[in-house]
Structure 1
Amino acid sequence: MRPTAVAPLLERQRDLMTYAQAREGGLTDAAIRWAVSRHWHVVLPRVLHVVRAPLSREQRLIAALLYAGDDAAIGGLSAASWYGLRHADDGGVVRVLVPRTSRSRDLRWVRVRRTRVPYEHRVSGAIRLVPPERAVVDAAREAQGPERAEGLVIEAVQRRIVRLDDLASMNSLLGLRWSALAERAIRSAAGGAWSVPEAGLYRLVSRSATLPEMWCNPVLKTSGGLRLLSPDGWFDDVGLAVMVHSRTWHDGQRWDGTVERDGDLVAHDVRVLPLAPTSIEREPARVLARIEQTYRAALRSGRTTDVVATRQTVR
């Protein structure tokens, strides 16, 4: 049942409204009670759904905002997910930010947190969200472990949803508490890593006392200007490419194509060292020793390549 007096409001808010909005639309308390007893559903305190059906993802966000108040905004993992980040799994919990004058509270599938740091609103239909940089940093801070935080930040940067400088500034603005996860993830993205396995590779190589700096995902071109596959890691002085082959990050045809294009590098006298992401995680010492051994062999061989590498600049 959708009363005519509040039809435009219900259309805008996807069949949701507060008790106060219903009254402002001319409905009496008796009419509201009657509708709730027969057709409507109270999904959160003082929030009405005029159709007795499960809420969609969008409706859950709208309902959470109606419950939290006019100054509330969807934040954290929920906002990052709405911005399209596939690594932002909110676990079915809607994260909402409110000003410091409000109070934090948890109710059913809504988590309301007050913040001392002011935030702007971005509007998507009836949904108010914090800006992307705030959403990504908050999501990284609350992620379950460093890999999930890195996945969020790297994806956001690679898809140009946010800029690294904006993420670093926001992480600093939000204070030191819970900042370590986000800071590590931002550093990984700044190093040029395009995936969590690549970030792990970069950290592993950085621990070596003998290896020079490894470039992440440089642009490779032949002397004739032909662009080649960008390796996950590159040692420029010996022309050594390190490739992390992961079906998780390069699935289906993209994975097959990446593996096959390793041959293009070999054809131009580039040494290619393939690695499995599970080995980097489970046997880091063995993997590092293998990289060092391959680098030393390349150094001794004196073999050169006509490939020119350009370091990636990430902003």
Structure 2
Amino acid sequence: MPHPRFPEIDGQRGFATTSQLLAAGWTYSALSHLVATTGSRVLPRVYLPHQSHVAVDDITVAGWLWAGHDTALTGTRALARHGLALTAFSPITRFLTRRNGRNRETIHGMELRRTRRAPRASVRDDIAVAPVERALVDAARYKEASARDITGWTIAALQRRLTTLDRLDAEVTASGWIGLGAVTDGCAAFRRGAWSLPEATLGTLVAEDPRFPRMLPNPRLEDESGVLIGRPDGYFEEEGVVVQVHSRAFHDGEAPDGRDRWNATVQADNRYTAVGLAVIGVTPTALAESPTRFLDELAATLVTHRGRAPKGVRVVLDAPPGDKSG
């Protein structure tokens, strides 16, 4: 039984829906024969002309075709399409719709959720996705990842200007706050000056220990001529002590100019020591697993360097993160 030509539709990764195939001259009996012979039905109403392995990202595109072009991908899968590097994904791929019907439909790891507040979607990698702030809130609401991960992703999204404090605050308020503590924690950490979750952990540990004076988060350090020395993760101004959280998760791979990011990060500490600043480094693992040891070492370093800050270093503080930025 010869099949009509399977249509090649831009942006659909080789998939076609039932309605698209019928419009291309297929019949229901021809579709049944396709599935029984050389093709496959990946999801209800979504077909491929072959039975080869389908990549996970392509399955997400198929999920959007199943959900409908008037829907938007949300949660962790949407965050990844916005460019956030995630450490965990939900086993459920969620789409939002304003269509009337059951509150939720699920099939083969896909879920279609009804919402009264349909987000303004944008197409990324062949799928309409919810804005970053809505995707973060939905990831928290549906417990798609740990609270720690979601807090870190919130900070990263703000630091990269993928969203703003204003938009996140508005989304959290509209969503009702319940279950969204990880998002609000990330917003609070960013307001305090943290650019990543390990930096937020560092700031909290130092702030809660009475041995320490105020630590400046991510200040701009310049020499007397106004030339940038660096932006350390933390800085004790009176002591001239720099704290650096060295994480391969944030500094691995190659930079656009081909340099090794990790090597460049470690070598950059030499700029501080060259002008007389003391540098103490710590890893995210040490902050999480042995914070007491690190804090004791930091306290001892501050005692040693108290009153010894070099005079040729100037601190330039940024304005507090504004809700209008981004």
TM-score range, shorter chain: 0.7 to 0.9
For residues 200-226 of structure 1, the C-alpha deviation after alignment (integer angstroms, 9 at most, x for no partner) is 101111212343332221111101222
| 1:36-51 → structure 2 map (5 Å cutoff) | 36-51=35-50
Q: 2:256 maps to what in 1? A: none
Say whether residues 1:298 and 2:298 are aligned partners: no
What letter corresponds to residue 267 of structure 1 in structure 2? A
CA-CA distance at 1:181 after TM superposition: 0.9
What letter corresponds to residue 219 of structure 1 in structure 2? R
Report the CA distance shift for 1:149/1:28 in structure 2 as closer, same or farther (over 3 A): same
* 3-state SS of paired residue (1:249): helix
What letter corresponds to residue 165 of structure 1 in structure 2? D
| 1:231-246 → structure 2 map (5 Å cutoff) | 231-246=232-247
Q: 2:114 maps to what in 1? A: 114
Report the CA distance shift for 1:110/1:191 in structure 2 as closer, same or farther (over 3 A): same
- State the TM-score, normalizing by the size of structure 2: 0.84
RMSD of the alignment, in Å?
2.6
What letter corresponds to residue 122 of structure 1 in structure 2? S
Say whether residues 1:276 and 2:275 are aligned partners: no
Structure that is richer in helix per residue: 1
Report the CA distance shift for 1:310/1:54 in structure 2 as closer, same or farther (over 3 A): same
8 Å CA contact retained: 1:88, 1:139: no
What letter corresponds to residue 177 of structure 1 in structure 2? I
Report the CA distance shift for 1:100/1:234 in structure 2 as closer, same or farther (over 3 A): farther
Say whether residues 1:135 and 2:124 are aligned partners: no
Q: 2:315 maps to what in 1? A: 309
Report the CA distance shift for 1:138/1:190 in structure 2 as closer, same or farther (over 3 A): farther
Say whether residues 1:191 and 2:192 are aligned partners: yes
8 Å CA contact retained: 2:139, 2:145: no
| 1:1-315 → structure 2 map (5 Å cutoff) | 3-4=4-5, 7=7, 10-87=9-86, 89-90=88-89, 93-99=92-98, 101-102=100-101, 103-124=103-124, 126-141=126-141, 142-251=143-252, 253-299=260-306, 301-313=307-319, 314=321, 315=325
For residues 273-312 of structure 1, the C-alpha deviation after alignment (integer angstroms, 9 at most, x for no partner) is 222322211122333333333334433x454431111224
Identity %: 30
For 2:247 and 2:11, how far apart are their aligned partners in 1? 43
Structure 2 runs not aligned, ≥5 long: 254-259
Structure 1 runs not aligned, ≥5 long: none
For residues 145-166 of structure 1, the C-alpha deviation after alignment (integer angstroms, 9 at most, x for no partner) is 2331233223323333222332
Q: After alignment, is 16-25 or 213-222 more displaced?
A: 16-25
